[in-house]
Amino acid sequence: MKNEQQIEAYKKMAKEAASAGMEARIKANLEKTCDKYKGHEDKLPGCISYLTSVAKEILGGKNGDVADEVCFRICRDYFNDEIYIQEEAEKAAKKTLKKKAPKNKKTVAEKARERLASKAEYSKAGRKARRKEGSPCAPYPLQLDLFAMGAV
């Protein structure tokens, strides 16, 4: 049992070390080969997530390795083609859409008013009001006629 936990811990450490090592190699390569990377070092996490998504597309959604040169090329293209600017514009557009979209949610007070209105329709007062309006379902129409005639 203890050995299995240690093996899992070692696998996790190895995975973290490999990803950190790859990130450092990408950063070093970008510093040497990409002029547009300078001044945009804060965009590296976005570059790594873009690299991950492209690598998944390349591998067809399966796990596997992509050659280092391909990774370096994808990262250079990220900065040279200024993909990070397009991503920022898309995020800004999504934020403005969320802010401008009207909310169709009713407040608690509006819901309470609707409930009270529906209850009033089915209460005694609501039934009496419907009877006065001459609804066809007024109770005991014969008795009303007898009272009107003075027979009773």
Distance CA 86, CA 74 (A): 16
3-state SS, one letter per residue, for 66-132:
CCHHHHHHHHHHHHHCCHHHHHHHHHHHHHHHHHHCCCCCCCHHHHHHHHHHHHHHHCHHHHHHHHH
Domain locations in the chain? 2-100, 104-135
- pLDDT (tens digit, 9 = 90+) per residue, 59-101? 888 888 888 899 999 999 999 888 888 888 888 888 887 666 5
- pLDDT (tens digit, 9 = 90+) per residue, 105-149? 777 778 777 877 776 666 666 666 666 655 555 554 445 555 555
Distance CA 93, CA 99 (A): 10
DSSP designation for 151: -
With cut-offs at 50, 70 and 90, classify the pLDDT of residue 6: confident
pTM for the complete prediction? 0.52
Distance CA 72, CA 67 (A): 9
Of the two residues 28 and 7, the one the predictor is more confident about is 28
**Mapping DSSP to helix (H, G, I), strand (E, B) and coil, where does residue 59 land?**
coil
- pLDDT (tens digit, 9 = 90+) per residue, 21-30? 888 888 999 9
* Mean pLDDT on 1-19: 74
**C-beta neighbour count of 74 within 10 angstroms:** 20
pLDDT at 32: 92
